[in-house]
Chains A and B, each alone.
Chain A
Amino acid sequence: MKEYKKPLPVPQPWSKKFWEGAKQHKFLIQYCKDCGKKIFYPRKFCPECWSGNLDWSESKGRGKVNTFTIAMSNVEERFAEDIPYVLALVYLDEGIRMMTNIVDCKPEEVKIGMEVEVVFKDATEEFSLPAFRPVRR
């Protein structure tokens, strides 16, 4: 595997499961078994009811681009080789929101409201980062 030089996630003990799932190309969403709240990003206790009775469910990995930007300059040196790259806020069908990249298409093809699906980018032995690509019909 090519050496990965960009910053990696700094996980907490309770978010490791998410990254283990990502490694297997599964998008796991934490949820509260007591109040039913879907939790993202993962927490130690449910932010809604403070229950510690938490579990994980697999997301279908589909959602919509809420907004996006094409980064074209003034980025951190380690991301410079990726310019132009797309940063987006994706709203997943399960009702959670995440910051991510839109990949596998030209930046100018990305639109607000576009349907996207998760695709995992293998970074290191430990980490695969969730990105999203347009749903092709």
Chain B
Amino acid sequence: MSKGKIAIVGIGEVPTGWYPDRSEWDIIYDICMQAIRDAGIDKNAVEGVICAPAVGQPKLDAELAFGKVPEELGLKGCKDVAMVHAGGATSANMIRMAEYWINNGIAKIVLLLHATKYSSVDPEYLIRTFATAGMSFEWEYPFGVTYNSMVALGTHKYMEVTGTTAEEMASVPVAFRKWAELDPNAMFRKPLTIEKVLSTKMVSTPLHSMECNMLADGGAAMVVTTPELARKITKTPVFKLGEGNRYCQATVTQRPEDLMMRTYKEAAEQAFAEASLTVKDMDILELYCAYPVLMLTLLEVLGVCKRGEAGKFVMQGNTWPGGKLPCSTIGDALSRGHTGSGVGFAYLVETARQLMGKAGERQVPNCRYVLTNCAGGSGMNVIFEIYGRNMP
């Protein structure tokens, strides 16, 4: 149970994109200093540092895992450092570890960070790394599987079963882009139309290039502590109110069709029950999708839409800025850029930003409660988290 056990008090983030001249340690300095200053605490008050892995970047990964951050930044009060890795589900697990640290005398105030720099990695190496991350070397990889094709399989089936059209599917990246247009940290910010999405090259049927995400450099950090201390540190603490999680098998072939829907539903119900809230109480759904089909599936699993109606719901603009139910306000990996294990973390930072009232042009008015989710590998699990600016 995690209700009211942890609060976010400061956030920092650099723009996501292709920045070959910005080193990984440039990113780390910027995000950590921003987050600590945003919290308004002394740097030496940070007692613990938890890093996300830098997937596909062995040098940075080792530096982060083996304690370079507190030393480099001169965090003199730091008592311990660790890395948490659960692929795309890393962010929620970093929070869980921090929850344990702050409630068990290991560290009262903890800095969490994710940094990644794909612009300096050989693209072919990246394709190979991701073609084998969360996929079976024996039963999937030899057949020419990539993340795009893996999701294309599910997208094709979803469209066949629900009758969702290519236009409805293409309206999802358009919805993401509406938010990214307002987001200074997004990689792609030019207005987008359904026609434009459908005119881009086919990557893996039925997925067009603009329905697939692009790897990018980026990073974000946050400062977390106990709810009690959070109220003393800041006027805008963000409290974790609930979480729900389910495992749904590592490889796609081991995941029968109904398993994902069922496990996602159970995980969401668990999170809402712990928070004593319902989906109707949510002011924003910060849905980590990575591909359009995930947004539609999530909207249906959460009961926002009936099965097969999510495409119409998105196409009508309901998830856009000013819409009935703002969703994925960083423009998802498709417009924001995909930072490996960092997209879930970026959603967590945006969740806090919206609840703190610091989201600028993207600010959803009177934002009280936000649901966010993350998932690892090719869909090995799902974790839903609910945050609020008050305890309900």
Contact = CB atoms under 8 A, between A and B. Distances in A.
B144 A69 contact: no
B137 A70 contact: no
B136 A71 contact: no
Contacts, number: 113
Given A76-B128, A89-B253, A99 B202 contact: no
Interface string A59-71: 0000000111111
Nearest to A12: B138
A100 B252 CA distance: 12
Contact of B143 (A10, A74, A101): A101
Interface string B187-213: 000000000000001111111010010
A112 B206 CA distance: 13
A97 B152 contact: no
A112 B148 contact: no
A75 B130 CA distance: 11
Interface in B235-291: 251-254, 256-257
B253 A99 contact: yes
Contact of B144 (A9, A87, A89): A87
Contacts of A52: none
B62 interface: no
Interface string B125-164: 0011001000011111111111011001111110010000
Contacts of B148: 71, 74
Contacts of A67: 153-154, 156-157, 160
B157 A99 contact: no
B124 interface: yes
A87 B140 CA distance: 10
B149 A69 contact: yes
Size bin of chain B's contact surface: 35 or more
A111 to B, nearest CB: 10
Task: Specify the main secondary structure of chain A where it touches its partner.
Answer: mixed
A74 B202 contact: no
B253 A97 contact: yes
Interface in B150-192: 152-157, 160
Contacts of B124: 76-77
A28 to B, nearest CB: 14
Contacts of B207: 69
A60 B138 CA distance: 22
Interface residues of A, number: 35
Contact of A112 (B127, B128, B141, B160): B160
B321 to A, nearest CB: 30
B123 to A, nearest CB: 10
A6 interface: yes
A7 B142 contact: yes
Contacts of B137: 7, 9-10
A15 to B, nearest CB: 7
Given A67-B157, A68-B153, A76-B131, A100 B143 contact: yes
B156 A72 contact: no
B144 A79 contact: yes
Contacts of B157: 66-67, 112
B253 A98 contact: yes
Interface in B312-362: none
B372 to A, nearest CB: 28
Nearest to B140: A99
A55 interface: no
A61 to B, nearest CB: 16
A101 B140 CA distance: 10
Contacts of B203: 71-74
Nearest to A11: B138
A6 B144 contact: yes
A129 B142 CA distance: 8
B144 A74 contact: no
Nearest 10 A/B pairs, CB to CB = A69-B152, A67-B157, A79-B144, A10-B137, A70-B205, A9-B138, A69-B204, A72-B202, A97-B253, A99-B140
11 contacts: A67-B154, A68-B153, A69-B204, A73-B203, A74-B127, A74-B148, A87-B143, A99-B136, A99-B143, A99-B252, A112-B156
